[in-house]
Amino acid sequence: MKVKKAVIPAAGFGTRFLPATKAVPKEMVPIVDTPTLQYIIEEAAASGIEDILIITGRSKRAIEDHFDKSYELETELEKSGKTEYLAELQRISSLANIHYVRQKQALGLGHAILCAKTFVGNEPFAVLLGDDVVRAEKPCLAQMIEVFDKYQSSILGVQEVAPEDVSKYGIIKTEDVEKDIYRVRGMVEKPSLAEAPSRIAVLGRYIITPEIFELLENTKPGKGGEIQLTDALCTLAEKQPMYCYNFDGKRYDVGNKLGFLQATVEYALARKDLGAQFRTYLKELLGE
Ligand code: G1P
């Protein structure tokens, strides 16, 4: 089966980014001039995803407006001959078919994914988390879809993290299969370093088989009192083969202030229209 659908949970409060996220959804905070969520949606679209479900919550209307057509703005840009901006806006509103559903209560990532049950139906689907932005030559999800096509099983996108970061992630008990691919033999959500089965962390990219929904329906609140996707995946891995894939690319935790700054600097340096000037500025600033 082919992976054609993706789910992006975007219902969180963004507490780590207050006060910016009081009135603006955290997914709309821009890296350079592009909302973080747009990078995620571009990755999905460039990986062959046709339909995307965004799980939203209250005060997230700006997300829908951003990916919608804006007739007034487009007419203005056309009148004033700003064709470059016009083309960019039209491109954004036609990236993929975007659907929305609201998660009415913040009961955890597992519960958010359960809101996608009707949308997904009986197909394998991708999950991309908005706090994890990956810069890679081949889009991270496209790499994972290649692995899925070979194994036809759930695939988790992972990288090794520093010991001090282990307690921030879902950590995998792995068994070697081939280069960069491991069989998942267990998973723990945000363990202490002492409890962690490895330093291989799930970094916001998943391809999951639809059997997950029945398991999510029966998953009790876990770490932090939330219904954890990790717990349901752990049960799924006991019932059917599941693999993790060490994807190629640099991943930024843009939900964290330092990670957000790193992404901002590196994306700006990589921009054709800004990079050279910005590099000169940084060098001057650092007195080099
Ligand atoms: C979530 C998942 C965790 C995963 C992480 C990746 O945690 O629960 O397993 O490793 O995303 O960013 P969160 O960061 O939403 O607390």
SS3 116: coil
C-alpha triplet 86, 90, 96: angle, nearest 5°: 160
Please tell me the distance between residue 237's alpha carbon and the centre of ligand 1 in angstroms. Answer: 18
Pocket test for ligand 1, best of 169, 200, 205, 223 (most atoms within 8 A of CB): 169
Q: What is the pLDDT of residue 75?
A: 94
Please tell me the distance between residue 170's alpha carbon and the centre of ligand 1 in angstroms. Answer: 6
The per-residue pLDDT string of the chain (288 residues; one tens digit each, 9 = 90 and over) reads: 899 999 999 988 888 899 989 889 999 999 999 999 999 999 999 999 999 999 998 888 899 999 988 899 999 999 999 999 999 898 988 899 999 999 988 899 999 999 999 999 999 999 999 999 999 999 999 999 999 999 999 999 999 999 999 999 999 999 999 999 999 999 999 999 999 999 999 999 999 999 999 999 999 999 999 999 999 999 999 999 999 999 999 999 999 999 999 999 999 999 999 999 999 999 999 987
Q: What is the pLDDT of residue 36?
A: 96
CB-ligand 1 contact for 132 (6 Å cutoff): yes
CB-ligand 1 contact for 189 (6 Å cutoff): yes
Pocket test for ligand 1, best of 8, 16, 131 (most atoms within 8 A of CB): 131
Please tell me the distance between residue 134's alpha carbon and the centre of ligand 1 in angstroms. Answer: 15
Placement of tokens 């507490």 in the chain: 15
CB distance 111 to 103 below 8 Å: yes
CB-ligand 1 contact for 226 (6 Å cutoff): no
Using the atom order of ligand 1, give the atom closest to the CA of residue 228. Answer: 8
Spacing of C-alpha 145 from chain mean position:
15
CB distance 27 to 36 below 8 Å: yes
Distance CA 268, CA 137 (A): 17
Distance CA 21, CA 24 (A): 5
CATH numbers and ranges of domains, the chain: 5-255 (3.90.550.10)
Structure tokens at 279: 């590099």
Q: What is the pLDDT of residue 101?
A: 95
CB-ligand 1 contact for 202 (6 Å cutoff): yes
Q: What is the pLDDT of residue 106?
A: 85
Please tell me the distance between residue 273's alpha carbon and the centre of ligand 1 in angstroms. Answer: 34
CB-ligand 1 contact for 187 (6 Å cutoff): no
Using the atom order of ligand 1, give the atom closest to the CA of residue 187. Answer: 9
CB-ligand 1 contact for 169 (6 Å cutoff): yes
The strand ranges marked E within the chain are 5-9, 30-31, 34-35, 51-56, 97-102, 125-128, 132-135, 154-160, 170-178, 181-189, 200-208, 242-246, 250-253
